[in-house]
Amino acid sequence: MSNKKNRAGEEPKQTGKRGGKSGARGLPFKKGGQQWADHLTHRAKQENYPARSVYKLMDIQKKYSVLKKGGRVLDLGCAPGSWLLHAAKIVGDQGAALGIDLKKIDIPLPSNASAHVGDIFKMHEELAGIVGNGYDTVLSDMAPATTGRKDVDAARSLSLARGALDAASGLLRPGGHFVCKIFQGPEFKEFERDVKKAFGQCAVFKPESCRKSSKEIYIIGKDKK
């Protein structure tokens, strides 16, 4: 699968959305020839989230408070919908959470949340009208299909992260916040510097809920300049 088709991916959308292992959100990994799912995958199902990735957002929110009651949130690469559901829960009835993905979300959403099929990097007039601007928070949990080559995977992840930062720069209100997943690579520090230029505060964070073997990390930009 090409990087373009995976732009709206989630944690890692890979086929074998955000690869070797079956690593799409919520899917069991293989160990010793038998499938198994970690406790967070089971917990997510019990708490009616489609994937364990929701706990990464919970970890980020607990430490950095990027979401607020009554806020407007844009979730880039929202499928299968875990981050969108949790964001909607936090902002409450007076807030709104809107998601965009190349794939359709098949789960029921609360009245303050909506999901739309589209490419955030190539928004046509209709989609741009739906998305609007002036968001309090832009989230991006996008990741490319991995190849197993660290340099290639990092470059693809960087491309998605830069696209997400460009989108956030135009769609966030002054003072807004940005959360972005990225694989660390040779150009990571340069990207971090770009986030620091655009936001009053910048932090690099790996949630406890990330798998130990994962190369992903999150950049949090707070207080857009």
- Catalytic residue numbers, as ranges: 181
φ, ψ for residue 97, nearest 5 deg: -125, 125
Q: How many Cβ atoms sit within 10 Å of the Cβ of residue 114?
A: 17
- Tokens in use for 135? 């968001």
CA distance 134 to 73: 9
Cα angle 73, 77, 79; round to 5: 100
Query: Which candidate, 9, 29, 40, 57, places its Cα nearest to that of 153?
Result: 9
- Tokens in use for 54? 């929701």
| Residue 61, SS3 per DSSP | helix
CA distance 31 to 42: 17
CA distance 66 to 222: 7
